Amino acid sequence: MNASIFSRRSGILLHVTSLPGGQGIGDLGSSAYEFVEFLAQSKQKIWQVLPLGPTGYGDSPYQLFSAFAGNPLVIDLHALRERGLLSSQDLACTSVLPEGHVEYGRVIDVKQGLIQKAARTFLADGGHADRLAFDIFCRDNESWLDDYSLFMAGKGVYKDAVWADWDLGLRQRDSSVLEEWRQKLSPDIDIHKFAQFEFFRQWQKLRTHCQRYGISIMGDIPIYVAHDSADVWAHTELFRLDAQFRPIAVAGVPPDYFSATGQLWGNPLYRWDVSAATGHCWWIDRFRASLKLFDLVRLDHFRGFEAFWEVPANASTAQGGKWVKGPGAEFFRTVKAQLKELPFVAENLGVITPEVEALRQEFGFPGMSLLQFAFGNDPQGPSFRPHNYSRELVAYTGGHDNDTTVGWWSSSGVGESTRSTEDIRQERDFARAYLGFENEPVNWVLIRAVLASVAEIAILPLQDVLGLGNEARMNLPGTVSGNWKWRYQPNALTKDLADRLGKLTILFDR
């Protein structure tokens, strides 16, 4: 484990889309900088975000149009106005968007239109220095940017249809057809390239601001990519697809805490043998790109590298799947030989075997623990209790798939998970006895427990710091709509809140 990266400290989990502001969705503008100020005031050293790519199916950051691109929806439009690419009248269009939550359909309509307008202005009349920076960005990122921008332009032509339904020449990536479409769609392609240029410029500026305060950013790499993505379209050989470019089998997990029928994610599975034959080139490029954006990275569904749950493509639930061996240690040895340092956190939640833990420990990746899982009747419950923590751990009160701590404590839970009413009663009784509390706010009880633990890193979802209920839940696994919408309210990050969290952070040497 890299001691400089994984030193004793704490931070907050907050996705960029959850920041407040007047553009219908959290963005990389003033609210992001204000949040960094709050992190500094409350003595936090890590900002953890969810995947930052362009969202597709269900608006999920785990179903992206690209594993390399950024999400144009979080571009700060005010920065475009300041550079003369938009007018104040243009920005007035965003006033129709709600501020309390994200309505993705409306945000997409409004913000995409404004970004397109800014792009056309830039491409027609951008200053020399900016155009030079744009050209350099396009050159440095052409390995993924050319495919991504053509893919997104193609989706525009085909009214967002899945790429496997496009004309045969495009599906098969016939070189003459690709060149013809690049010529024909050149204006739209350049707009998508501009959006990426602007996203990465704004992100790097924000990251520099974090560095001034000694704040590290923890990113997130989903193990799987969406079938309807530039990655699968451009690298069909790496995925298990049939002759029509449809998945032969798909990813998921067996029945678990969240669902009695398992979770059917639907992502195509990898052809790990083909990946190995290339020296895992695509994966190494993916990791390298992420490490340009983040200081450390959470590897989502780490256990899938050891063994993954394979579900027939025509299945309606994940129950009928089977475990299949993944690439294992050979994969990470190859990656490490290329990248040297691997500042990875292994998301080792769910059905975890000794083989998964041996793989994690071989490469020194800290695991994760969620305190909400510590008190129920799950056989793995004891491993989530602080007295069993190791130092090489990232400890959370809860994660983005969990209810908030207040919501978890106050909700019946029945119908939302595999727990019965009696299970929940016993869970609460045990939690009270274990944590030794009566009527204190439950969110602060759990916050104190993870901060006091020996785990080197403690991460708190902002919803728990704010003491919010299940109205602030980010995601309910197994559902495809109504998720990822939460935003915190302006002025929620008070000095008193920063002081309270800061005192606990100092108390426990973080």
pLDDT in tens, 247-259: 999 999 998 777 7
Distance CA 391, CA 402 (A): 23
Instruction: Provide mean pLDDT across the span 346-350.
Output: 93
| Spatial distance between the Cα atoms of 493 and 495, rounded to a whole number of angstroms | 7
Domain harbouring 111, CATH code: 3.20.20.80
Q: Tens of pLDDT along 446-459?
A: 999 999 999 999 99
Distances (CA, A) of 125 to 78, 83, 129, 130, 424: 19, 12, 12, 10, 62
Evaluated on CA atoms 235, 238, 244, 246, the torsion sign reads negative
Q: For residues 465 and 444, what is the distance between their CA atoms, to the nearest angstrom? A: 7
Q: Return d(Cα 185, Cα 182) in angstroms, integer.
A: 5
Strands (E), 313-405: 322-325, 344-346, 367-370, 393-396
**What CA–CA distance (Å, rounded) separates 316 from 330?**
33
Q: What is the pLDDT of residue 4?
A: 62
Predicted confidence band of residue 3 (pLDDT cuts 50, 70, 90)? low
| pLDDT tens, residue by residue, 314-343 | 999 999 899 999 999 999 999 999 999 999
Strands of 393-494, DSSP E: 393-396, 457-461
Residues 6-21: tens digit of each pLDDT: 899 999 999 999 999 9
Establish if 342 belongs to a structural domain: yes
pLDDT of 415 above 70: no
Tell me the C-alpha distance between 247 and 131, whole Å: 40
Please state the φ and ψ torsions of residue 486, each to the nearest 5 degrees: -65, 140
CA distance 429 to 434: 9
Which range of residues forms the domain containing residue 258?
9-507
CB 68 within 8 A of CB 151: no
**Inter-residue contact 233 to 170 (CB < 8 Å):** no
Is residue 3 situated within a structural domain?
no
Residue 244 lies in a domain: yes
> Among this protein's residues, is 59 annotated catalytic?
no
| Residue 300 bears catalytic tag | yes
User: What is the C-alpha to C-alpha distance for residues 83 and 74, in angstroms, rounded to an integer?
Assistant: 17
Q: In what order do the strands lie in the sheet with 249-253?
A: 263-268, 249-253, 307-312, 322-325
Query: What's the average model confidence in pLDDT over 383-412?
Result: 94
Query: For residue 178, what pLDDT is reported?
Result: 97
Judge contact between 500 and 441, C-beta under 8 A: no
CA distance 146 to 330: 30
- pLDDT value at position 41? 98
pLDDT band at 262 (very low <50, low <70, confident <90, very high): confident
Counted domains in the chain = 1
Banded model confidence at residue 57, pLDDT cuts 50, 70, 90: confident
Average pLDDT, the chain: 95
How far apart, in Å, are the Cα atoms of 507 and each of 4, 38, 115?
Answer: 21, 18, 46
Identified catalytic residue from 198, 401, 456, 464: 401
> Of 151, 156, 211, which is closest to residue 182 (Cα–Cα)?
151
399 pLDDT above the threshold of 90: yes
Task: Please report whether residue 173 resides in a domain.
Answer: yes
Q: How far apart are CA 55 and CA 192, in angstroms?
A: 14
Given the structure tokens 């400290």, which residue do they identify? 9
Cross-strand bridge partners of residue 241: 247
Among 190, 220, 256, 347, which one carries the catalytic annotation?
A: 347
77 lies in a domain? yes
Catalytic residue, candidates 300, 306, 416, 427: 300
Burial class (CB in 10 A: 0-12, 13-18, 19+), 434: middle
Token pair for 424: 């929940």
4 part of a folded domain: no
